[in-house]
Amino acid sequence: MTAKTVEFYFDFGSPAAYLAWAQLPALCDEAGAELIHKPMLLGAVFQATGNRSPAEVPAKSRYVRRDFERHAARHGVPFNFNPHFPINTLVLMRGATAMQMQDGGACFGAFCACVFRAMWVDEKNMNDPAVVGAVLQGAGFDAVQFLAAVGQQPVKDRLKAVTEEAVARGVFGAPTMFVGEQMFWGQDRLDWVREALAQH
């Protein structure tokens, strides 16, 4: 018997990824599935696939913002669209990768919660390194240790490898969830993930 898993490819810069991240733990608990976080660099995925952010199409950007707000309200997820969007997440995604690699990933969950909340609830300007430092220190992380960690070559390499793995599996946006090799894209496909787990 194969264990049930949901592989979750995400980038902090995606509001859709935040909405899925907020809902997936309960969904996986209910289904008896393991949730496997896969931090990737969405900008690199866009570059590799020729895809681009909805932010580049003003009418689409206005609509999807409203659409995210509707989704958040329906599912009771705290959400405020970040006025500084889009945000360059390279350092943050390296940070998530570093947290996975350190201490058996002991601080990974707290790190993700801290960054996602700063980005999609507290409307922090995470393009500003000083703001990032203050946010991390406010959550009990050591900013100096963090900067040292994100500069390590194995961390950079691993983020690159996971991003390339995502592209090789067909990922073109965020969030993307895999149940086995069934791929689902978007916060609005969680019911499909639930169904796939039930049939797995």
Q: How many residues bind a second copy (CB under 8 A)?
A: 23
Backbone angles phi, psi at 178, to 5 degrees: -115, 130
| b/e map 44-71, b = 16+ CB within 10 Å | bbbebeeeebbeeeeeeeeebeebbeeb
Q: By C-beta, is 34 or 56 nearer to a second copy?
A: 56
Residue 58 sits in the site that holds a second copy (CB under 8 A):
yes
Angstrom distance (rounded) from CA 8 to CA 120: 18
Binding mask 107-126 for a second copy (x = CB under 8 A): --------------------
Angstrom distance (rounded) from CA 93 to CA 11: 7
Q: Is 57 helix (H, G, I), strand (E, B) or coil?
A: coil
Binding mask 70-109 for a second copy (x = CB under 8 A): x---------------------------------------
Residue 172 sits in the site that holds a second copy (CB under 8 A):
yes
User: Comparing C-alpha atoms, which of 34, 50, 42 is closest to residue 15?
Assistant: 42
Q: By C-beta, is 54 or 133 nearer to a second copy?
A: 54
Residue 173 sits in the site that holds a second copy (CB under 8 A):
yes
Residue 56 sits in the site that holds a second copy (CB under 8 A):
yes
Partners of 177 in beta bridges: 8, 184
Residues that bind a second copy (CB under 8 A): 49-51, 56-60, 62-63, 66-67, 70, 167, 170-173, 183, 185, 188-189, 192
